[in-house]
Structure 1
Amino acid sequence: MTAQVTRKQMRTVFAETVIESLASDPRVVMLTADISSWFFWDVKKEYPDRVLNFGIREQAMIDIAGGFALAGMRPVVHTYAPFLIERPFEQIKIGLNHQDVGAVLVSVGASYDDPSWGRTHQGPGDVALLDTLPGWTVHVPGHEDEVGPLLRKAIAGDGRVYMRLSERANGEPVPVTDGFTVLRKGTAGVVIAVGPMLDQVLAATANIDATVLYTSTIRPFDHAGLRAAVADARANVVLVEPYLKGTSSHEVNEALTDVPHRVLSFGVWRDREARAYGTAEDHDKLFGVDPESLAASITRFFN
C-alpha cells in the first residue's frame, strides 16, 4: 500500500522561501497586509526591522516598498491579488515603475480560489492591469514545487516581479523554464496552458490532435516558443489562462504577426460579471474552463 504524501500549499512554500532568504540575504524585507502575516511571526523576532505588517494599508505598503527599493533593499510584498494590484495600482505605477525600482509582489486568492468571500477577494484583472506598465516579469506557478525556484530567482534579482499564487494546483510539477515547455505534440493546433490550468487542458485535449504548451512564466511571453510550435502544427492557437479572458491574446498576435492564425481565448469573462458564488469548480464550469467544456470548445474551433 502506497503512503499518501501530504502536499504543501503554494503559500506555505512562498513563506518558507522568504524566511530562508531573510536569513541569507540582508537586502530582503518582507511586507504584509495582515494576510499570511502569521507565517512570519517567529522570524520577525529575529529581524524586526525587515518583517513588517501594515494591516489593511496596502497603498502605504507599496509606497514604502518603493522607499526600501530606493535604499537598496529587496522588498517582497504580499496580500490578496485585488488588494495587491488593483487597490494600490497608482502606487505601483508611481512608487515602483516611475521611480524605476524593483520589488517582488506575491499574491494569493487568484481569480476565484475561494468564491465565498465574494467579488472583493477576486482579482482576475491583475495581469491585464500590470500589462499597462513596462518591465514586469509575471510568474503563474501551477504547482507548489514551481514556487521555490521562481521565487528565489526573483528575490536574487532587482527587477519588478509579480508572482500569482493559487490555492489550486496541478497534480504534477513541470520543470521551471523561462518560456514554454512542450508537453504534447499534435497537428490540429496549439493549446497554451498557463499555471494551474494545465490539468484541465491535458484532460480536455486527451483525444484531440493538439500540441500542448505549458508555462509558469507568462511575462515576458515566449514568442519564439510559440512560433516554433506553430511551425509544426496548424496556426490555430487556444489560450487558457486562469485570469481575465484574452489577457495574452495581444502577445499571441505579436508573436505571429507575419503568420496567418486564429486565436481562441479562455478565462474569466470580460463582458459581464458573475454575481452568484458557488465553489471554484462551479466557476470553472461557468467560465467554460472545466475539462468537458474546454474539450467541446477546442474541438469545434479546430474543426
Structure 2
Amino acid sequence: MTAADFQGKTALALKATDVTMREAFVETVSAAMDTDPRIAVVTADISAGNFGAARARHPSRVINVGIREQAMIGVAGGLALTGLRPVAHSYTPFLIERPFEQIKLDLGHQDAGAVLVSIGGSYDDPVWGRTHQAPGDVALIDTLPGWTIHVPGHQDEVRELLTAALATDDCVYLRLSTRRNARAYPTGAGFTTVRSGSRGVVVAVGPTLDAVLAATSTVDVTVLYAATVRPFDHAGLRAAVGANPNVVLVEPYLQGTSAHEVATALADTPHRLLALGVRRDSEVRAYGTAEQHDVVHGLDPAGLAESIARFMR
C-alpha cells in the first residue's frame, strides 16, 4: 500500500467515524428507498433539505408538510393505511409532544405502523431553549401499547436498528442524539453485558454508557447496556441481578421512566433501585451547553459516581 493509499483509507475511516446519528439516519433511509418502494418520508421542515437527493429520485415518497407537526403524523398514518412504510422525523418535542393526539389516534388506534425518528434528545441543543427540549418523550410514548423504543448510543447502532425497523409494520420510536459512546454495541434483543461485578447492576441506556463506565471504573458492579428499552429485557435483568439485587437505572431522559419495568422484572425479588435521569423536581431555565445540563442533572461521570457510590454504601 502506498502512502497515498494509506492516507486515503485513513480519511475514509475518519469520515465514517465523524458521521452523526442524524446523518446515519438520512443515509440509511435514503438508501432503503431505492430498494423498497414501500418506504416514504414525511417531514415538517426540520431536515427536509437532507432528503433532497432522495426526493429527486422518489418525488412521490418524500413529503414535507411545512411547520405542521400534527399533519405530519396524520399523513404518516394515512400512508401506512395504504400499505406504505412511513418514516416521520423532527425535533423530539415537535415529533412526540405536539402531535401526541395524532400518534395515539392516527397511528395506534388505527393499527397503522410507522417509524418516528427524533433528534435533539432531552437537551442536545439548549441554545434554542425549552421549546426544543423533551425529556418526557419516552415516558409519553410508554403510555401507548405496542411501541418499540430504541435509544441508540452510536451511529452504527442507528443503521442496524433502523434497517430492522423499516422491514416491519410495527410502531417504532427511534430516539437520536448528538451525544454518543466511543463505540457501537450489539443491537439484538436484550441487554449487552459490558462489565461484570458482584455488588449490583447498573443499566446504562443509549449514550449514557461511556459516562457510566467512567463513573463505575473502580466499583465492583455489572454494567448492562440497552439500546432498546421497549420491550424491556426483564429476563436479562433478573439473570444479572443474582444474589445482590442493587439496581441503578441510568436513562438520558426523564428520571425513573423505566422504574416500573425494573419493578416488573424483579416482582418476586426484594431489591433496591436508584433511578437516575433528567430531574423531575425542577426545570432548568438556563441555556448553557448539553454537558452543563448533564452536571445539573447528575448525569456527568462525577455526578453519576457520587450517586452510585452513595447508593452502594
TM-score, with structure 1 as normaliser: 0.98
Pairwise CA distance, 1:100: 1.0
1:243 matched residue in structure 2 = 253
Aligned to 2:121: 110
- Residue by residue over 1:9-56, the C-alpha shift from the partner in whole angstroms, topping out at 9 and shown as x without a partner, is 000000000011111111100011111111111221221110011111
**CA RMSD across the alignment:** 1.2
Alpha-carbon separation, structure 1, partners of 2:223 and 2:209: 9
SS in 1 for 2:256: coil
2:76 counterpart residue number:
65
Alpha-carbon deviations, 1:106-146, whole Å to 9, x = none?
00000010111100000100000011100000000000110
Task: Find the counterpart in structure 1 of residue 285 from structure 2.
Answer: 275
How many Å separate the matches in 2 of 1:140 and 1:60? 25
Match among 114, 125, 139 for residue 150 of structure 2 = 139
Runs of 4+ displaced beyond 6 Å: none
Structure 1 Cα separation of the partners of residues 32 and 134 of structure 2: 27
Q: Secondary structure at the match of 1:276?
A: coil
**For the residues of structure 1 that align with 2:290 and 2:299, how far apart are their CA atoms?**
11
Q: CA deviation at 1:287?
A: 0.2
Paired position in structure 1 for 2:3? none
Matched, 1:262 2:241: no
Partner Cα distance (1:150, 1:297) in 2: 31
Q: Does 1:40 align with 2:51?
A: yes
In 1, the alpha carbon distance for the partners of 2:307 and 2:244 equals 17
Paired residue for 1:292?
A: 302
Letter in 2 for 1:154: A
Q: Which residue of 2 aligns with 1:24?
A: 35
Letter in 1 for 2:30: I
Using the alignment, how far apart are the partners of 2:87 and 2:132 within structure 1? 21
Secondary structure at the aligned position of 1:76 is classed as strand
Q: Distance in 2 between matches of 1:202 and 1:57?
A: 41
CA distance in 1, matches of 2:177, 2:136: 15
Q: Secondary structure at the match of 1:60?
A: helix
Cα distance, 1:271 vs structure 2: 2.2
Determine the C-alpha separation between the residues in 2 that align with 1:235 and 1:161. Answer: 31
Q: Does 2:149 match 1:154?
A: no
Which residue in the other structure is 1:178 paired with?
189
SS of the residue corresponding to residue 169 of structure 2 reads: coil
Question: What percent of counterpart residues are identical?
Answer: 63
- State the partner residue of 1:163: 174
In the comparison of the two structures, how many residue pairs are matched? 302
What is the CA deviation profile of residues 215-269 of structure 1, one whole-angstrom value per residue up to 9, with x for unaligned ones? 10000000000000002x5111000000000000000000000000011011111
- 1: CA distance, partners of 2:254 / 2:168: 28
Give the letter aligned to residue 297 of structure 2: F
Return the alpha-carbon distance in structure 2 between the equivalents of residues 164 and 178 of structure 1: 17
Counterpart for residue 301 of structure 1: 311
Unaligned runs of 5+ in 1: none
Distance (whole Å) between structure 2 residues aligned to residue 59 and residue 222 of structure 1: 32
Aligned partner letter, 2:40: V
Work out whether 1:101 is the aligned partner of 2:121: no
Q: Distance in 1 between matches of 2:275 and 2:205?
A: 12
TM-score, normalised via structure 2 length: 0.95
1:67 is aligned with what amino acid? G
Counterparts of 2:93 and 2:312 in 1: how far apart (Å)?
Answer: 35
Partner of 1:252: 262
Provide the C-alpha distance between the structure 1 equivalents of 2:260 and 2:268, rounded to a whole number of angstroms.
Answer: 14
Structure 2 stretches lacking a partner, 5+ long: 1-5
- Which amino acid counterpart does residue 297 of structure 1 have in structure 2? S
